[in-house]
Structure 1
């Protein structure tokens, strides 16, 4: 038990020092704090230069709420819970395997040092995106998880910052389901995968931006604003009642597994979900909503 208490303490202090160095620009070029700001400003400017919905205000509905979500979910959430939880889960798994004389490396499919770095990172990206695509489908299909995912779908006007409006429980689910698949394929440092993460952030921002782009033939590979807006459509036909276009960075999974749906130009469709009129409008109540709704269902 003492080992885990020490691990929790080190997780908090370690991430706090990391975040402090990010803000003070004392880390390397893979600075996630200023990288997020830079990507966000660039795509916001693109929204202003090439607006798809021209009557949408510069500071759209919930712009500042989504901006808060963006920094809370990308940085403060790690400090509050995710890093410590991730480290504990990793240590518990390692202890369980060591109890039967094994280590996680015994299950690795390949050694990342045996591959060119670009190929290893490409495999890392594809596996990560595919697992997240499946996880996203679960968020829509399992009622318990859908109550958490409603926070993201409460967006009523799309803009880049809506990308990171989500309940804190979502990354717990994503990271839990991602941990073992990624551990089986390679071990890369945060600096190694930073380009992958920056690319995923940029595409995710673009997907939610007020931009009418589909990238031409590349739309069959990469998710895009014209495709993703249908994922946020309030009304969908019964045959796709659990949702469509689950892709995060890549759209190819949706085309392969027939969950793609772009019936027409969706620029002006209503966004949200049925019953969102009564969904909370502020951060605290949105964070508490899944717990309250579960209690109501139990009663």
Structure 2
């Protein structure tokens, strides 16, 4: 086994502390402030005090949020009995070669910002990795995380419970990634071995480095999953890819990990026909196929 390849399986209680409840409540149509119920002690006095922080016109909505959080907690306890989450991480020898990343034996073409910005650089994720011309190897992490597939097929005749499970699964996949990324920084890669951050600090990304996910603004091409799959073997933890590069289970996340102290998130935004053609050539794909994956960037 590659000494820089790691597989993790977690019991649900090991990752629930890493759930970002803001996004759970967002999926149910609640504004972020209602997610603060997740930090309230479960006693009646504390819950009543929390409700009293809302204006009268929002008390009913806050009560609904409280009930949803309670039911979500109960569902997590039920799921805990039968299901787990999973993650793969591969720490690759890496260099940048222009706008490409060289990750072990895989070349990963990337996109660069192209829209005019006053006094700012046009960023590409490869900027955060030592160039091949330096003669010095760098490291980039690749990862994927998911839930047990069966979880997404529970309660198919109960719309409410099915949505409850799906929204919890989405959060569990992200929480699993948060937990394994912490382990990567502190021990597996160890570039931040002295890191001591609270969960709240983790969720607002106070750690060194970034973790851009496939399909997100700095890594918008979902077909990148086919290249990461070569490095990680998604199927070994139950992830399959559709012909369009979407992951199944739906509650799955994949991407890259960078350690550069100045690395930060950004959006590629709109690109021109020149970069589209160049990117398609570097990917070895037809322009028409690349256009489908990058429709939002054209």
TM-score, normalised via structure 2 length: 0.30
Structure with the greater alpha carbon radius of gyration: 2
Which structure has the highest helix share of the two?
1
